[in-house]
Amino acid sequence: MTMHIYALDLPDRTVSLAPRSGGHETATAAVLDEGTYVESTGVSAQSVDVDVRFDGDRRATWQADALETLGNNPAIGVLPLGGSTHAGVDGYYVASSTRRDPRLAEPSVADLTASDAIESVTLTLERAGTRKRHVLAVETSPSQPDPGHPFGNDTDAIVGIPADARRVRIVDSTSSPTQRERPVSVETVEAEHGAIDLFDAPAEAIDDPVYLYDLDYSLQGDVDLGVWDTHGQADPVDEDGVVAWGRVFDTAHDFTGSVVVEDGLMRMIVDEPTNADETATLDVEAYDAGADAWTTVDLPAYPGTLDTDWQPADVDLVHIGQASVRAQVEFEAVAGVEEGDVYALDVELERGREELEVWIPASVSDAIPSDLQALLEPIASTSVVDSGVEQRLVARTEVRL
């Protein structure tokens, strides 16, 4: 049995759960001539300490990083916990504290065996609710950013919802909604770890629709956005079938390898320049469901079809959430006609999308350089509408009829 905290799998043999606390909060009241009595002032949230031991080589440190920063990521906030063998533990939680205990500061892979515990992370989780008390909500706020982009003029705003989701409906608000409808997906796509239903927010019968749905705890995160640090490894999984990249939940993470942003359909890989190696690369891969494999997307090259060699100089992660990842990418012309020029773009990848949203920052008045535009054309979304998707948890009492 494997326990899941959001998108992270935690085998039971490495996890220990401290006894939960909870119950009534009380106060003592005095009544004239009748002494004192104790009354309930509310029910305190149950809490549980989840202690996870990571065994093995340096990858254990990367796994510990992922769990620690997941607990501190405000964009995700409430964490689904599922697959526990402890009765009554599964549910939604908020990490009120995280504690990291590195056992070996500088482990040598050659000196470690599978039984060496080199990292321990403890999350104190406060129970936020259950699927019987809460539903998942994807809020939208479709808009046309200004100045936008030059890649097309479509007006769709696609919203991706896991195809395994149940009771999908849209409402006009997450607080006492007055409108509700059953939406119809425009398409279903097969991502690497599951199917995703696509909906077009502007075409719905409700303006700025909020998509509500229910999903098993253990399935949450399967088709959500992912940010990874390759740690110098070319492939995400090694020859033994073990994940070789590190999951990233912290926008301030210092990458030791390439930056990877993916949603199971599209994968953008940026190798930033360093003091040791000034060259940088932008690679893009697309998932082929029929072959169950990732294939390289051909981008225009310099020299060749481009007169300027635009390379990604810096990736500034802004938001790592369930439904979207946002970043600002600075490009530098390192050779050719416009050598020395620098240009920054806001980019966003949303769940279920096979293309990248690319926007000119609001503070920028210059147009995208022609060769930079040509470089990004094969992977840029042609829609001028930003869906504004954000996912969170809402109480059923707020959206009940």
pLDDT tens, position by position, for the chain (401 residues)?
688 999 999 866 678 887 556 544 434 444 445 444 444 344 445 889 999 988 777 788 899 999 999 999 999 999 999 988 777 889 999 999 999 887 654 444 444 444 454 788 999 999 999 999 999 999 999 999 999 999 999 999 999 999 999 999 999 999 999 999 999 999 999 999 999 999 999 999 999 999 999 999 999 999 999 999 999 999 999 888 888 999 999 999 999 999 999 999 999 999 999 999 999 999 999 999 999 999 999 999 999 999 999 999 999 999 999 999 999 999 999 999 999 999 999 999 999 999 999 999 999 999 999 999 999 999 999 999 999 999 999 999 999 98
Cα–Cα distances (Å) from 49 to 80, 96, 362, in that order, read 15, 10, 44
Say what the pLDDT of residue 28 is: 45
Helices (H), 194-275: none
- 211 bridge partner residues: 138, 170
d(CA 239, CA 358): 35
d(CA 8, CA 65): 12
Write down the domain spans for the chain. 2-129, 131-401
Say what the pLDDT of residue 35 is: 44
Say what the pLDDT of residue 111 is: 47
* Tokens 């049995």 belong to residue: 1
CATH T-level topology, domain 2-129: Elongation Factor Tu (Ef-tu); domain 3 (2.40.30)
| Residue 105 CB-half CA count within 13 A | 0
Say what the pLDDT of residue 112 is: 42
d(CA 289, CA 270): 23
Model-level pTM? Answer: 0.90
Type of residue at 130: T
Q: Is 299 exposed, middle or buried (0-12, 13-18, 19+ CB in 10 A)?
A: middle
